[in-house]
A and B are shown apart, each in its own frame.
Chain A
Amino acid sequence: QSALTQPRSVSGSPGQSVTISCTGTSSDVGGYNYVSWYQQHPGKAPKLMIYDVSKRPSGVPDRFSGSKSGNTASLTISGLQAEDEADYYCCSYAGSYTFSYVFGTGTKVTVL
C-alpha cells in the first residue's frame, strides 16, 4: 500500500486557478469513487475540503472542486486567495478486503 503521488508544490497568483493531481492505482483511486481532499495550514489539523471525488462539505467554498479520470484524481482551486496557501493531501479508500485508506504525499500550494 504505497502513498498516492502528488506534485511537491504548485503556485499561482491571486485570482488564478491551480490544479493538484493525485495518482494512484486501480486498487485505490481508480477502483473507487472515494477520493477525499484535505487542507492543512501550518501547525493545524487537516480540514476536509472534498469527498467522494467531487462533493463539498457544508461551508467549503465552491472555488474548490474535484474530479477523477482513471487512476488520477484532481483538486482545482479557482479564484485563488491568500488564505488558500496551505498543504493539500488527497486520500483514497484502498481496499474492499482491508477496508483501509491511503493518503497522498502532499502538495504545498503557494499564492504568489
Chain B
Amino acid sequence: QLQLQESGSGLVKPSQTLSLTCAVSGGSISSGGYSWSWIRQPPGKGLEWIGYIYHSGSTYYNPSLKSRVTISVDRSKNQFSLKLSSVTAADTAVYYCARGSPDSSSSPFDYWGQGTLVTVSS
C-alpha cells in the first residue's frame, strides 16, 4: 500500500523559505505515469493546488505561486520536496503531498499524505 509522509519545519519566519519533504513508501517515485503534487489548505479554508513534478522531472506550478515555488525530486531517497520562498502569514496552512494517478490523463490525486501544519510567524 502506497504511503506518503510530509515532514519539515512547522514554524517559519516571514520572508524566509518554507521547506517540506514528502517521503514515499510502498512504491517507487520513479515509476512511469505518476505525478507528485503539493496541495495546501489554510485553517478553516479550502484546498489550493501548489504544483507537481512528473516522473520525468518536468514541473508545473500554480500561476499565482509560480515565482516563489520550487518542487524537486530525490530518487535515491524516494522523496520529493517543496520550497516556497518569501513567505507571509497568508502561507500558513496544512500542506499535503499527493500522488497523481496514471488512470487518467488528468492525474487525479489518489493517494495523500496526512498533512503537516506550517505556521508563518515571527
Contact = CB atoms under 8 A, between A and B. Distances in A.
A45 B96 contact: yes
Given A100-B49, A101-B49, A104-B46, A34 B60 contact: no
Given A98-B60, A99-B60, A51 B103 contact: yes
Given A34-B104, A45-B114, A51-B104, A1 B109 contact: no
Interface residues of A, number: 26
Interface of B: 46-49, 60-64, 96, 101, 103-106, 108-110, 112-115
A36 B106 CA distance: 9
12 contacts: A32-B106, A36-B106, A38-B109, A45-B113, A45-B114, A45-B115, A46-B109, A47-B112, A48-B108, A55-B104, A99-B60, A106-B46
Contacts of B113: 45
Interface of A: 1, 3, 32, 34, 36, 38, 45-48, 51-52, 55, 57, 89, 91, 93, 98-106
